[in-house]
Amino acid sequence: MSHVTTSSVTSTVSPWPAPIATAPVRGVVRVPGSKSMTNRALLLAALSGGAAAVRGVPAARDTTLMLGALAALGVPVVLEGTTALVGHHDGLRGGGVVDCGLAGTVMRFVPPAAALAPGPVRFDGDTRARERPMSTVLEALRALGCAVDGDALPFVVHGRGSVPGGVVTLDASESSQFVSGLLLSAARYDNGVTVRHRAVSGEPVPSLPHVEMTVAMLRGAGVAVEALDPHTWRVEPGSVAVRDWEVEPDLSNASVFLAAAAVTEGSVTVPGWPARTTQAGDAIRSILELMGCATVLSGNGLSVRGPAELSGVDVDLHDVGELTPTVAALAALASSPSRLRGVAHLRGHETDRLAALAAEITALGGSATETADGLVIRPARLAGGLWRAHADHRMATAGAILGLVVPGVVVDDIRATSKTLPDFPGTWTAMLAGAVG
């Protein structure tokens, strides 16, 4: 049994020679739980005030940061293996400091909850986190009756024990987390919350499956929530039910291992793949099929078999932007051009993912060009070299995919993967050895 602690120390840079596959990759890879589901479940358990268990918690930095954030708000939390036990409490407590690290789910989900705690709560995080968009959610909190100092990390939420709530209009075109963060705590606000997305550019909310996940989990906790139209959500005031949660495998992280099969003419199975899910990562199935892979979803999980040659793809990733680095790596190895569209919002993620992908693919001899809302990637002969992760877990795993078939790729900071994937290097190496169970 371990009590939760958190630290603002970022990952130590650790250059990693990406292992090359000398034969088709074949294996079964069990993927840890979804960070997105875990952090929503943990926050809902805390808002319920009762004793609840969240099972399937990954040993990832983002989830550790969320556990630490709840502890900073006075919520009793104990981690036993992959189960988080959230204890009964009489309400959230102010006066603490929340370390957001680089976790968007912490910096955007926890402030609306902190507004319910009497007393100030200070938020800070990694250097890059201080550059990530935050003003949208903080301005929304002010409009709903909260007092907030600052417009980006570090900032302070001055809780009064309650929040009036009401109707708020915001531009969530940079991140669906702005919507989800407000909805998750909205039932505890005096008048509930109605969130209206109105973008000056006319862009819809990106990564809508994440909002759908939030809505589904709120309903699972007995909260009355309704999508009034594609851009408006209403949460009625009320309690959050006390319940236990089971977390699904992280399908976006699983996509990286399936990509190993795709680029090596191999076969990889991920057990526990749900038949129905709100996870955006499920879209990797159709994308891999478009690129020439064979996929089979059965009681054993999702199995992917790679083709002799990958085809390029023209695909809108607006709703599944987190898959972009994996798809970009596949596209860089394809035999025909690819166009990845609808992901301008990725410029505000852990790094500017579009600029980073274009730069790193080009550095290996590839052809990748930024567009207004994505990338165009053309066939080219790749060579080994340094692949910079930009402190971004999905950039690091994209480098690992390329390294399977391009000798000499070195990922400069593989420990960035610890954000959502515990011991990625060990799991990757074991998969290549056929020893993952």
Q: Which of 174, 322, 350, 360 is catalytic?
A: 322
Q: Which of 262, 233, 267 is nearest to 323 (CA)?
A: 262
Are 105 and 130 within 8 A, CB to CB? no
Told to judge if 322 belongs to the known catalytic residues of this protein, a careful annotator would answer yes
Q: State the distance between the two ends of the chain, measured CA to CA, in whole angstroms.
A: 25
d(C-alpha 420, C-alpha 185), whole Å: 24
**For the CA atoms of the chain, what is the radius of gyration?**
21
Q: Which amino acid is at 436?
A: V
Cα 293 to chain centroid distance, Å, stands at 25
The answer for residues whose C-beta is within 8 angstroms of residue 343's C-beta and 6 or more apart is: 206, 317, 318, 321, 324, 353, 354, 373, 374
User: What six digits make up the tokens of 356?
Assistant: 């980073």
Are 177 and 205 within 8 A, CB to CB? no
Residues with catalytic function: 322
